[in-house]
Structures are given as C-alpha cells and as structure tokens.
Amino acid sequence: MRLLRGLFLSYRFFIILVGIAGVFVTGFVTPLFFVVGQGLLALFLAIVFLELLLVFGKRKPISAQRKVMNPLSMGDENSVKIEIKNNYGFLISATIYDNPPYQLQLRDMAFSETLHSNEAKSFSYTILPTERGAYLFSDVFVFVSTLTHLIQRKVVVEQSESVSCYPSILQMKKYELKVFAKTASTGIKKIRRLGHNNEFEQIKNYIQGDDVRTVNWKATSRRNELMVNQYQDERSQHVYSIIDKSRSMRMPFNNLTLLDYAINSTLAFSNICLRKGDKVGLMTFSDKLGSKLAAERTGRQLQRIMDLLFKQKTRFLEGNFEMLFHGIRNHIKGRSLIMLYTNIESEYALKRILPLLKRVNQLHVLVVIFFENTEVAKAAQMNPVYVRDIYLKTFAEKYGMDKKKIALELRKNGIQTVLTTPEKLSIDTINKYLELKARGVI
C-alpha cells in the first residue's frame, strides 16, 4: 500500500498507453501491427519496471532540512531556507513542496530542480508574520522521478516544527545599531547636549576639544599637567512603557494593529534604555490593569519584557485611565519616565482623560505617544473631482487638525507629546527618550 500511495503516473503514461492500444486495435486488421504492438508493450512494461526499481529501490532517497529563524520577528520579512540532497546514485528531477503555517496563507511554495548523484541544493523564500503566537510548519513533500518521468515517488521528509513569533527582534537590533553607531542619516537624529550630566566618571588628561570648563585645577597642580573631569550619562533611572490595549488600539495599518506597532516599539525602546544603563519596566491596561513588570536592569529583564509582550492581546472595551492612575501610584515608586502608548481619537476623549494625565505628570515625567491616521492624511491631500470628494477632503482635514490640537493641548499642560505615524513610531519614541535624557529632564 505504501508503494501504491507513492506511485504517481504522469500524463506521458496515458499518452503511451493510448498509443499502444491503437497499435493493438490496428493489429486486428494487419497481423504485423499486432506483433509490433506486443513488442512495444513489452518494452514499455520493461521501462516502467526498471523505473519502479530505480525510484523505489532506496529506503531513504532524499535528505531535506528546513532552516527558519526561531523565534520569528513580527512585522518583518523572515527568511526560510530548505536544503535538499539527492541520495540516489543517478540523476533525478525533484519537485519540493513546503507547508508553511496556515496563518501565512501561502499555498504555492513549490520548487523544481534537477539533482545529480549525491548533489545538494538549497531554496529560500521569505514570510511576513503579522500575528504573535505559535506557527506550525508541516512536513516537506518531495516528488521524485527519473529517466522517462513516467513514475513519481512521493517522499515525506519529517520537518514538522512549531516556531514562536515574537515582537520585532530585527527592528530592535536595527535601532540599537543606529543609536550606538551614532548614525543620524537613516532616522535616528543626534541630540545636542546641553551641558553635561551630573554623574562623575573619571579624571583624565586634557586633549584638544575637551570642554575647558571641566578642568580640574587641583589635579592639574598635583600632576603638573592639564587634567579634566569626565562625566557620563546619569544611569539607573526608572523608565516604564505603558501600553493601552483597549479597542482604539485595534485599528489596522499595513496588516498590523496599532497595538502590534506599540509592542514592537516598546521592545526596541526598552533595549535602548537598558543599553543606556537605565532600569526598564512595563505595564499594560484596558478596562482594567493588565501585566506589570517592575523596573530592573538585570541581564534577564529584556527576555522578561519579550515574554510579556508576546502574550498581549487587544481587549474590546474602553481604556480606564482612572484605574491606570491608581495603578501607577501603587506600583511605580519614585519619579520615573513613563512612555504611554495610546490612541486619542477626539478632543472629547482628551477632555475625559486630561485631568488624570495631569495628575500622573505631577508624579512622573509623562510622555503621551499617539498616532496619526495615515489614510485620513492621504484623503486630506486628494484632489477632489466630485462633490462627495470635497466633503471627504474637508472632514479629513478637520480630523487631522483635531489631532494636532490634541497634541498642542497636552503640551500646554506640560505633558511631553509624540504624535507620529505607525511606521515612524519606534524612531520617534527613541528620539524623544534621547532628547529628554540629553536635556536632563530624567
């Protein structure tokens, strides 16, 4: 039965059968054709039998291995590579079918190639996961044929594996490289330092370009050479990311929700803070408080943040900012920098939550991060053709202006604000953190 399940006859098989049957039918009229038909049938059966022996004669004809990034990075292109080796002692034609996870809806992952004896080749493709969770890759199917290709053998290579999709690790590494390589041209801007921070590091010899205001005259007189004080960024400050999981964060953009963008940004931002020497924590909320992680700077803190972000899901209720305020008072001790990811849609919504945001800002340094609607921005820039287009453009312009008014109102009340698009969220958030740190606000 296993042999029969692996036996697949191509269209050539049926063409040859029809041809031989035609010769036999003609043979009833002319005996010579009957003899020729018998000879052709014997030759055909011999070829089929030989091909059966060749194709099914080896127990493990194909070796294959799938290499996939583990964990996957949400919202990024992840490479999948399949390596296949021909264990036969002769040339074969192989068609390889991979079975990606159902979440990706990829049904055409097929590769065809000719492999010589003991030859190995690799095939690759990219996937774009847009959901956090487990992604199950099934076995790899290989269809093998040789000689006339009348017979195909189905080989199932056991490569079933479950891979977790985490918040964007690739994005985290990319922004870490940009910040610490001091590259301003690709999005991370350099911030002008206003004076120096208060944390003393060491006394060193003066070199050209050092600030003369940092000259240490006592050390200079003792060493009989010019010495200066060197300072470093003030470290071990508390930084918390607070993510709104209410229904306003369910809005989609490029196959991801605003919550997904906030989660990716939080991971990249937290990594930068830890590298800068600060203590990082996390909190989520919607109609009630969600996950809480106290600010620490241990080696395992980034992994804890990743594990918490991996589990977050949108709740389809309004955000309870009053409960958030009490949660901040109870769980965040000491003055901290709070990065609040939310989505304020209207001035009416702002009026409801502004008193609570002002109270939080009195206790901590609060940065409210919310989103521009890029589709509305496109509608505001359209050239109207019909009357309905004029109405649409007018409403879009009003909506965009309301967002700017919300940002202005927050700044008037002393609250730091980041109004950004989803694709620029991580860059703008990290820039705001570097700016506040350079100004000595935190």
pLDDT tens digits for range 228-259: 887 765 567 899 999 999 988 988 888 899 99
| pLDDT the model gives residue 323 | 93
Mean per-residue pLDDT, 176-186: 64
Q: Tell whether the model's pLDDT for residue 27 goes beyond 80.
A: no
| pLDDT the model gives residue 193 | 42
Q: Determine how many CB atoms are found less than 10 A away from the CB of residue 162.
A: 10
| Chain mean pLDDT for the chain | 84
Q: What is the domain partition of the chain in residue ranges?
A: 2-56, 62-166, 169-192+234-439, 204-231
Mean per-residue pLDDT, 250-276: 91
- CA pair distance 160, 52, nearest whole angstrom: 28
List, for residues 288-304, the tens digit of each pLDDT value.
Answer: 999 999 999 888 999 99
- CA pair distance 112, 245, nearest whole angstrom: 45
How would you class 367 by CB atoms within 10 Å of its CB: exposed for 0-12, middle for 13-18, buried for 19 or more?
buried
Q: Tell whether the model's pLDDT for residue 397 goes beyond 60.
A: yes
CB 152 within 8 A of CB 139: no
| pLDDT the model gives residue 72 | 92
Q: Tell whether the model's pLDDT for residue 9 goes beyond 70.
A: no
Q: What angle do CA 372, 378, 382 make, to 5 degrees?
A: 145
Q: Tell whether the model's pLDDT for residue 383 goes beyond 50.
A: yes
**Structure-block tokens of residue 204:** 């060193």
For domain 62-166, the CATH architecture is Sandwich (2.60)
Taking the CA atoms of 176, 179, 185 and 187 in sequence, report the sign of the dihedral they define. Answer: positive
Q: Tell whether the model's pLDDT for residue 308 goes beyond 90.
A: yes
How much of the chain exceeds pLDDT 70, in percent? 86
**Structure-block tokens of residue 246:** 């209410």
| pLDDT the model gives residue 353 | 93
Whole-number Cα distances in Å, 377 to 139, 254, 262, 274: 45, 15, 20, 35
| pLDDT the model gives residue 398 | 85
Q: Which CATH superfamily, name and number, covers 169-192+234-439?
A: von Willebrand factor, type A domain (3.40.50.410)
| pLDDT the model gives residue 196 | 45
Global pTM value: 0.77
pLDDT band at residue 184 under the 50/70/90 scheme: very low
More confident residue, 391 or 22: 391
| pLDDT the model gives residue 26 | 59
List, for residues 87-120, the tens digit of each pLDDT value.
Answer: 998 899 999 999 999 988 888 889 999 999 999 9
Which one-letter amino acid corresponds to residue 277? G
| pLDDT the model gives residue 234 | 57
Q: For residue 396, which of 384, 409, 381 has the smallest C-alpha distance?
A: 381
pLDDT band at residue 81 under the 50/70/90 scheme: very high
How much of the chain exceeds pLDDT 90, in percent? 45
More confident residue, 106 or 285: 285
| pLDDT the model gives residue 57 | 84
Mean per-residue pLDDT, 416-431: 92
Mean per-residue pLDDT, 311-320: 87
